[in-house]
Amino acid sequence: MDAMSEFYLLISESRIHLNMLKMLLILSLVLLFAVPTSAQLGNGTCDEGWKWFHRTGGGWCMKLFTGSYSWFHAAGLCQTQGARLSGIGGDTGVNPQQRIEQQWIKDTLLNLTSHITDIQPNVWIGARRKPECMYKQLNVAALCIPVLAFEWTDGKTIGVNGFQWAPGEPNNVGGIEDCGALRTDMNKSNDFDCYSTHNTRGYVCGKPQIDP
């Protein structure tokens, strides 16, 4: 093969390689825009009907259910969904996550109960008074001041910023208000009797996202 033939052969092979690279680039772009990401889906990797939220420790899926139950009954209903009563995110000092989740809970409750005129705007969440803080007056128990008296029960939510207590709460009326709820009219937390069925109109379940 003479030099000129080798030259044309080299050019031909280069064109083939270039065309292959172009095809790979086009295919990559098609896959990028054809397959929606978690953010594009809006609910990340959650079961159908569950809402995905960003958490520092990984994605968190939440769903609000309506109904007037005790805290314990609501917790059991969450377990049938493979979940637990959900805490509210806010694990760092300056973090709008609790406001995002609180607002979603409020909006969802309003949408689900728009046909009801007389409704308690409270929703059970995964929060309970710490055992060492039960039956104690908060003003005499240094370790049971409001910001420290409650803990999350879902096993994943951390920090205290997600509580955002309503003014004067938690007040532990009668020494029996050991479970936490979200007042959606204020987007603030409140404490209620765990066995009460008339103070709340819903409950929020939460579970980790489904890993690929």
DSSP code of residue 144:
G
Mean pLDDT value across the chain: 78
Work out the number of other CB atoms within 10 angstroms of the CB of residue 124.
Answer: 33
97-123, pLDDT tens digit by residue?
Answer: 778 898 999 999 988 887 666 667 899
Of 191 and 96, more confident: 191
For residues 120 and 100, give the distance between their C-alpha atoms in angstroms, rounded to a whole number.
Answer: 21
**Segments in 35-118 forming alpha helices (H):** 38-41, 71-79, 97-112
Query: Could you tell me which of 190, 161, 166, 157 has the C-alpha nearest to residue 96?
Result: 161
Whole-number pLDDT of residue 9? 44
**Which pTM was predicted?**
0.74
